[in-house]
Structure 1
Amino acid sequence: MTFFSSEPRDKNLFREQVEQYRRTGDYSKAATLYEEAIEAEPDVKSHYWHLGLMLLLQREEEEATSTWLLGMLDGEAEQVDSWTAELLDILEQEAQYQETEADPLRAWLIRGHIREINPEDLNNLLSLIHLGISIDNFGGEELIDWGVIDLLQQPEEGLLDRDKLLQVFREILSHHPIQPSSLDFIEAALPHLQEHYDVIGILLPASLEIGYSLRQIRIATSILEMALQIDEHNLEVLRHLAAFYQYGIDYSKGIELAKKCYSLVKTLPEKIFANHLLMRGLMSAGGHWETVCSTIEEQERLLASLIAQEPTPLPQATVARLLTSGYFFPYFRDQPRENREIMNQLLERCQWHFQFLKQQFEQVKPYYHPSNGNPKPKSNVLPKRLNIGYISHCLKVHSVGWLVRWLIQHHNRERFKIHGYLVTNPEVGDPLNEWYIHEIECPRKLGGNNWEIAEQIYQDDIDILIDLDSITMDVTCEVMALKPAPIQVTWLGWDASGIPMIDYFIADPYVLPDSAQDYYREKIWRLPDTYIAVDGFEVGVPTLRRDELNIPHDAIVYFSGQKGYKRHPDTARLQMKIIKQVPNSYFLIKGFADNQSIQTFFINLAEEEGVECDRLRFLPPTPSEAVHRANLGIADVVLDTYPYNGATTTLETLWMGIPLVTRVGEQFAARNSYTMMMNVGVTEGIAWTDEEYVEWGVRLGTDSSLRQDISWRLGRSRQTAPLWNAQKFTREMENAYTQMWETYVRGLS
């Protein structure tokens, strides 16, 4: 006797039993009951639909499809349409149940068959994408293969589930933003969403993550361009889009949008940042010096107005932008007293804001500990191991990343426990970043929440926290302002920030003049020889040849490789004077900037100084740092920039044994090359005036014996010079940390 009969009581019992098997996942028994039902009632089509579903839930996909087709064989066209609708309704209900209550993989399987039956059901496709992402079975190409983008671009028919579309919209941005089809999907989805949701609130943070963490600037730019089409006056979109353009996507657009920002903002702090953004665009492009001068003067005027006002509370984002707004003064002028005064006053104002914000934050997060710079109670005995923390967004393929690695490598792990705070989620797949993760004893990859980073540093019981970013990264500044460690130090990045909560700035006998303490808020801690040392650099295979650049083999080749920020016209003019006075000389110019504007900049200067333009060569970027170093071998002499010298570029030049001409100034940025040359034992090429800069440039270009002697001495210096002895340098840094700690604990006793 079969379980199924046509009696109403038996049918109710049948349905109860099937439902029980279905809910408990015993699909084979449920399938058996439906087989019996088909045998008893072959004309009831729903039995076929349910039997096929039970087979599908057992992963018997071919059998399920065959069962559904069998149920439709005897139908006319209208009947088949009706039956198909019934089948789809049953599958949809089961998919919803499996998705919410049971098994998303089975829900994905069911929706895949719904797609085969009705490939234009957009809501089902959206659910299928959502499930595919949740089970890690979605690659992005399905957006094209399934026709999702085409369906979104067609006039809307039926009821589009906008909530589901929004969900998938977020997930695509989060999980598959760099797929080529993802941008097309986002663009096609926007018309359906922008009137119903705050899509800019979704696009903006996603673009920042894609641009800054994934380093996909072009994709991030495209997303913000879509956001700008929705609201062309949205200041946050304008700010970030201008910044992305300035990373080399389109310098002119970056400048244009920065100008637009400035025209739209109302408050003084907003004007300061908008003007800074404009300055950044102009200096990144290079060659806009007249405009830069007026912009710098405007920035100084705006900052003076802000400093003169009584402080009033500002939003955290506004304060964060103020932190970096004095960044460009050292590139423009070598006036450290004036520049430091502005930075000290500005950062003191920002510190006031952070203290105010911290008080508000502590009302919400009472567990937050760092408070008003008060040190945690410590024993006045030197601990067995000092907890040293390094915080930076640059522990990756970056100048800071290349230089700090030697200190990390040589640290004495018996005396120091090394912690690394890698800010703003460094890029996946960055080899140098992975090296730091492996080499640092306690690495922490962190986001951009300054409160959480500061709390983590406090919980890690850090004794000395070293800031490697200075004002190049607002998040790092914010963390340092919260004083999560009893001793805080700035080293390497840019210059001292001026944050009141930082105790020391690492220098050496040369990189700052003796009078510098008069205008630095931080106590200057001078190491015995050099504030930086490395064991060397990786060198690749060169890709430049003189014959390919149409340069005679016996020519004198000068080289300058710096970003647009450092191309001061006064120094570039001196470089042209050198080229003019050295017969058969050529000038190779390389660096990140707008190709057209930087070429126009140098060509105009060459014409003014009477230098033939065909003696200039403009080089494209190289594929890697190692290749760049190898290509330095094409140069006879490297000409440094002023008032902002090279730093990593100077180290690379000296490591490759190439004579360097540098102009020494008063500020930190104007003395980097000076200290490096002193610490490698070469003084030829160190100029204290503009006239000496030209004289050294001409002499090194015309005296081959002197060049050979310098190159020989630079080669020998690899074995003897402090600049190339990172192990000795590390011991000196460790001695400094120990003395800082001893000074601190004596103050507690």
Structure 2
Amino acid sequence: MRSFIRTRRMCDWQDFDHRAAFARSRLVELEGAPLPPFVLLAEPGLSATEQRACSETWMRGRLATAADARARLAFQFSPRDEGRQKIRLGYLSNDFQDHATALLLVETLEAYDGARFELHAYSYGRDDGKGMRARLRRAFDRFNDISQFSDEEAAKTINNDGIDILVDLKGFTEGTRTSILALRPAPIQVNYLGYPGTLGPNLCDYIVTDRFCTPAGSAGDFAESFAMLPHSYQPHGRRDTVALAPNRTVTGLPEQGFVFCCFNQAYKFTPAVFDVWCRLLRYVPGSVLWLLATREAEGNLRGEAWKRGVDGSRLIFAGDLPHAQHLARLQLADLVLDTSPYGAHTTASDALWVGVPVITRPGATFPSRVAGSLLYAVGLPELVVEDQDDYFDLAYALATDAARLRNLRRTLACNRPSAPLFDVKAYTLALESLYARMWERYRLGLPPAAV
């Protein structure tokens, strides 16, 4: 299993065509452990139904283990004190630091209506000592460091605090403690932002989403009820000021030539997507492909480029930078190319924020549709394409028609001030409305349902 995961990070694609069959063989309990659900999100050919089956298999034994502790803890959820008008929201994560999730969410936390909601953080991640950690502490009414607590101690703390709605920001991503959710310390539990898929039954009652990421017909692939936001489910603030772009040569880019860009993690790359990227490099003389630096994968990616008739030196790798500096250099990209079936999320919204268009080809699963959701929320649905041929054709057209690309960037710049994607106030009001409706259903004794 380790090699299954590691080869994706390395972009070692020798046995790529056999991966889906291997993953399907792990959708039932075997002598070996099932694959972590997060891994399946990036595997081509696997459906949302199969992703749900993986989540259920992954959690089956863990939920059984948690059952005894739940019985022993015997949490009670009494009606709210009549004198307390605020809904208590608890946010559970290990990413309350300089992390993509925090960068996306912080302005929404700061915009909450303090007369209606009381915000509690439950952090089991490290304190990195950076400014984002301090900013998050200020955004919450109460910031609880539970990193040294056992799962039962953490669950007791959440329950004793009288949390009405517990919002999990991790799902099955790295460092998660879904075992706290399994103890059900709050009457309503919500899957939000961190994991683009279902956690399976008995963990969360709702998943915050939107109509593009999860069309109504996909409800059966989720154990959670849909909590639908009117535009994109993903928040993005306006306070990230964008400095002037640096000189190209400072970033390792050539002084001239079109810059195709994808700053997604390398495990999201597939041979099929890379085929298109290399075809674009062949058809657009002098162009380069700008990727995030990844020591594990760089050699393999250059080798794969050579196999496709492209000089491997035309792949330029960007090192890690603080977020503000990263946004500044990102402006040097001419066009962002999305991956599939696990597409760009924060990387796409950051690109749109700094004025760089993104082309995406959504599939049928949540993680493949996020960039499309963002593009609709910023008024650029024409960059959402149907298939691989359309993906290539549009990217090639924009790379070879400077006037068309210039007009597209101008449209993005004009849309940005009023786009729902960057309207923090409206987004926060819509999210608050969802939480209020969840609580009202619970207060009336109604089960979770789409809101």
Q: TM-score normalized by structure 1? A: 0.56
Cα deviations across residues 29-57 of structure 1 (Å, max 9, x unaligned)? xxxxxxxxxxxxxxxxxxxxxxxxxxxxx
Write the distance in 1 (CA, Å) between the matches of 2:188 and 2:270.
Answer: 37
Tell me, yes or no, if structure 1 residue 688 matches structure 2 residue 386: yes
Q: Give, in angstroms, the shift of residue 543 of structure 1.
A: 4.6
Q: Is the 8 A contact 1:684 1:696 kept in 2?
A: no
User: Partner of 2:139 in structure 1?
Assistant: 439
User: Partner of 1:393 in structure 2?
Assistant: 94
Q: Is the 8 A contact 1:467 1:476 kept in 2?
A: no
After TM superposition, the structure 1 = structure 2 runs for residues 174-193 of structure 1, keeping only pairs within 5 Å, are none
Residue 699 of structure 1: which of 362, 383, 397 is its match?
Answer: 397
Q: Is the 8 A contact 1:562 1:591 kept in 2?
A: no
- Structure 1, gaps ≥5 residues long: 1-274, 310-317, 363-367
Q: Which amino acid aligns with 1:356?
A: D
Q: Decide whether aligned partners of structure 1 residues 698 and 428 sit closer, same or farther in structure 2, where only a CA change above 3 A counts.
A: closer
User: Match of 2:29, SS?
Assistant: helix
Write the distance in 1 (CA, Å) between the matches of 2:341 and 2:11.
Answer: 16
Q: Decide whether aligned partners of structure 1 residues 473 and 457 sit closer, same or farther in structure 2, where only a CA change above 3 A counts.
A: farther
Write the distance in 2 (CA, Å) between the matches of 1:498 and 1:548.
Answer: 43
Write the distance in 2 (CA, Å) between the matches of 1:450 and 1:475.
Answer: 12
Q: Is the 8 A contact 2:98 2:128 kept in 1?
A: no
Rg comparison, structure with higher value: 1
Write the distance in 2 (CA, Å) between the matches of 1:515 and 1:380.
Answer: 39
Q: Decide whether aligned partners of structure 1 residues 685 and 564 sit closer, same or farther in structure 2, where only a CA change above 3 A counts.
A: same
User: Partner of 1:607 in structure 2?
Assistant: 306
- Structure 2, gaps ≥5 residues long: none
Cα deviations across residues 520-547 of structure 1 (Å, max 9, x unaligned)? 1111111111212222324346455148
User: Partner of 2:78 in structure 1?
Assistant: 377
Q: Decide whether aligned partners of structure 1 residues 433 and 279 sit closer, same or farther in structure 2, where only a CA change above 3 A counts.
A: farther
Tell me, yes or no, if structure 1 residue 290 matches structure 2 residue 14: yes
Write the distance in 1 (CA, Å) between the matches of 2:23 and 2:68.
Answer: 25
Q: Is the 8 A contact 1:504 1:523 kept in 2?
A: yes
Q: Is the 8 A contact 1:558 1:587 kept in 2?
A: yes
Q: Is the 8 A contact 2:90 2:166 kept in 1?
A: yes
Residue 670 of structure 1: which of 352, 358, 368 is its match?
Answer: 368
Q: Decide whether aligned partners of structure 1 residues 669 and 642 sit closer, same or farther in structure 2, where only a CA change above 3 A counts.
A: same
Q: TM-score normalized by structure 2? A: 0.91
Residue 634 of structure 1: which of 332, 341, 344 is its match?
Answer: 332
Tell me, yes or no, if structure 1 residue 483 matches structure 2 residue 184: yes
Tell me, yes or no, if structure 1 residue 279 matches structure 2 residue 4: yes
Write the distance in 1 (CA, Å) between the matches of 2:363 and 2:211.
Answer: 14
Tell me, yes or no, if structure 1 residue 745 matches structure 2 residue 443: yes
Write the distance in 1 (CA, Å) between the matches of 2:17 and 2:137.
Answer: 42
User: Match of 2:291, SS?
Assistant: strand
Q: Which amino acid aligns with 2:25?
A: R
Q: Which amino acid aligns with 2:66?
A: F
User: Partner of 1:506 in structure 2?
Assistant: 208
Q: Give, in angstroms, the shift of residue 283 of structure 1.
A: 2.5
Higher relative contact order (CA 8 A, sep 6+): 2
After TM superposition, the structure 1 = structure 2 runs for residues 129-278 of structure 1, keeping only pairs within 5 Å, are 275=1, 277-278=2-3
Q: Give, in angstroms, the shift of residue 396 of structure 1.
A: 0.9
Tell me, yes or no, if structure 1 residue 645 matches structure 2 residue 343: yes
Residue 327 of structure 1: which of 38, 43, 46 is its match?
Answer: 38
Residue 288 of structure 2: which of 582, 586, 589 is its match?
Answer: 586
User: Match of 1:472, SS?
Assistant: coil
Number of residue pairs matched by the alignment: 443
Residue 545 of structure 1: which of 234, 241, 248 is its match?
Answer: 248
Q: Decide whether aligned partners of structure 1 residues 740 and 544 sit closer, same or farther in structure 2, where only a CA change above 3 A counts.
A: same
User: Partner of 1:430 in structure 2?
Assistant: 130
Residue 415 of structure 1: which of 116, 129, 142 is its match?
Answer: 116
User: Partner of 2:66 in structure 1?
Assistant: 354
User: Partner of 1:223 in structure 2?
Assistant: none
User: Match of 1:432, SS?
Assistant: helix
Q: Give, in angstroms, the shift of residue 676 of structure 1.
A: 0.2
Cα deviations across residues 403-453 of structure 1 (Å, max 9, x unaligned)? 1101111000010011010114x2241321121112210110112521111
Q: Decide whether aligned partners of structure 1 residues 714 and 358 sit closer, same or farther in structure 2, where only a CA change above 3 A counts.
A: same
Q: Is the 8 A contact 2:339 2:360 kept in 1?
A: yes
Write the distance in 2 (CA, Å) between the matches of 1:547 and 1:379.
Answer: 58
Tell me, yes or no, if structure 1 residue 519 matches structure 2 residue 225: no
More helix by share: 1
Q: Decide whether aligned partners of structure 1 residues 379 and 619 sit closer, same or farther in structure 2, where only a CA change above 3 A counts.
A: closer
User: Match of 2:177, SS?
Assistant: helix
